[in-house]
Structure 1
Amino acid sequence: MTSPLPALIVVDVQRAFDEWEAAGKRRNNPDAVARIADLLKAFRASDAPIFHIRHEGTKPNSSFLPSGTGYAVKDEAREAPGEAVIVKRVNSAFIGTDLEKRLRAGSIATLVICGATTNHCVETTTRMAGNLGFDAQLVRDATWTFDRIGPDGDAHSAEDIHAMTLSNLNSEFARIVTTDDVIASLEAARQ
């Protein structure tokens, strides 16, 4: 039997991103972490499963080395006792981890995905969730990314990258939703 409640997958909400911003990198969705905190509160109130994903860097200059200041989770997204924390070393939360096994063991069919960054680990995890047959929902206002320079030297804004990533994932890999959509759905399921 499939679980009637979705699982919240919180991807890489770590302090490294604060350090990137402090160093001058510009991001979109400044309220994304507050929306993630809203999602955590709603999932906890519904007793719905939550999986916290942490990125562990493997290269010497990684901002996500376990011994570095960027590895720690941001306070707003800290796990509560009993909530699963899964450490990954690549972009997808499904590769090299037991995330899929845990989800299948819990008969969880729907995944609500949020975190950072939209076009890297969030996108890769969302694509794989869709490919593995999960009903993936990507929360557009609870994820963010940074400005980037493309291979031809063109500057791309975080807003454009975020929007294009959502467009690429929409329908084929995931449903694109808002925090309010998710919370309303959880509240309806509780009644």
Structure 2
Amino acid sequence: MSELTYHRKSTALLFVDPYNDFLSEGGKIWPRVKEVAEEVGLIANLKAVDQAVRRAGIRVFIVPHRRWEPGDYECWCHPNPTQRAIMKRHSFARGEWGGDWHPDFAPKPGDIVVKEHWAQSGFANTDLDQQLRQHGITHVIVVGLLANTCIESTGRYAMELGFHVTLVRDATAAFSKEMMHAAHELNGPTYAHAITTTRELLACLPAEGVQIRS
């Protein structure tokens, strides 16, 4: 992966859905991702990526899912299967622990918290594209949950908009190994410019840079 180059001023980390419900013991969705997450070392790898990009002076964009509120999706004409499930289990409920940030991945000074996405793409009906372009970003590194839904949809949309897209196969998880395989071996190569491991990515990041402040 040595041919990859990430310049600190034009590269961004897109951290998708760093909620307790996804990443913490006791979270509503954690039991469904736990097996794959533990197999790939998800939490440790997310910490390593998050810390490394910050040391390099690369800006972090938090890309959060809609926090559930009473009435969400109930009167929609076409809620998708995930949205119907959210209506039942109240994933990422606003004002509750599950809808709060995982303590290790809460936004820090200088981070950009994007408007919440209602479905799977972090770009659709949000300000992510505008925020990236206003900050001069050309390359995005996409991590978080889930590999075959929000990560894939956000990464694919980024490619369509002209961004260079990197996926990090062990800094994400899914509900099954089959879903991970589809995300990285079947679908990822059709849109991502690079698919790396955490170790490979860290070797390509610039040396320690200036701390980004708001």
Quote the Cα distance in structure 1 between the aligned partners of 2:65 and 2:196.
24
For the 8 Å contact 1:33–1:77, the answer to whether it is kept is no
1:11 corresponds in structure 2 to 16
Alpha-carbon RMSD across the aligned residues, in angstroms, is: 2.1
Percent of aligned pairs sharing the same letter: 27
Q: Deviations over 1:61-114 (max 9, x none)?
A: 331221333211111212212211122222111011111011111221110000
Q: Give matches, 1:64-103, under 5 Å.
A: 64-86=92-114, 87-103=116-132
Change (3 A) 1:163 1:189: farther
For the 8 Å contact 2:21–2:30, the answer to whether it is kept is no
Change (3 A) 1:66 1:180: same
Change (3 A) 1:169 1:71: same
For the 8 Å contact 1:13–1:73, the answer to whether it is kept is yes
Which residue identity lines up with residue 14 of structure 1 in the other structure? Answer: Y
**CA shift for structure 1 position 20:** 3.3
Asked which structure has the greater RCO (Cα within 8 Å, sep 6+), the reply is 2
Which residue identity lines up with residue 186 of structure 1 in the other structure? Answer: L
Q: Is the aligned partner of 1:33 residue 2:43?
A: yes
Structure 2 gap segments, 5+ residues each = 1-5, 74-86, 210-214
Quote the Cα distance in structure 2 between the aligned partners of 1:115 and 1:25.
12
Change (3 A) 1:25 1:188: closer
Tell me the SS of whatever aligns to 2:140.
strand
**CA shift for structure 1 position 173:** 0.8
Change (3 A) 1:189 1:37: closer
For the 8 Å contact 1:27–1:145, the answer to whether it is kept is no
1:118 corresponds in structure 2 to 147
Structure 1 gap segments, 5+ residues each = 147-157
TM-score, normalised on structure 1? 0.83
For the 8 Å contact 1:27–1:144, the answer to whether it is kept is no
TM-score, normalised on structure 2? 0.75
Which residue identity lines up with residue 69 of structure 1 in the other structure? Answer: W
Tell me the SS of whatever aligns to 2:165.
strand
Tell me the SS of whatever aligns to 1:82.
coil
Q: Per residue, is there more strand in 1 or in 2?
A: 1
Tell me the SS of whatever aligns to 1:125.
helix
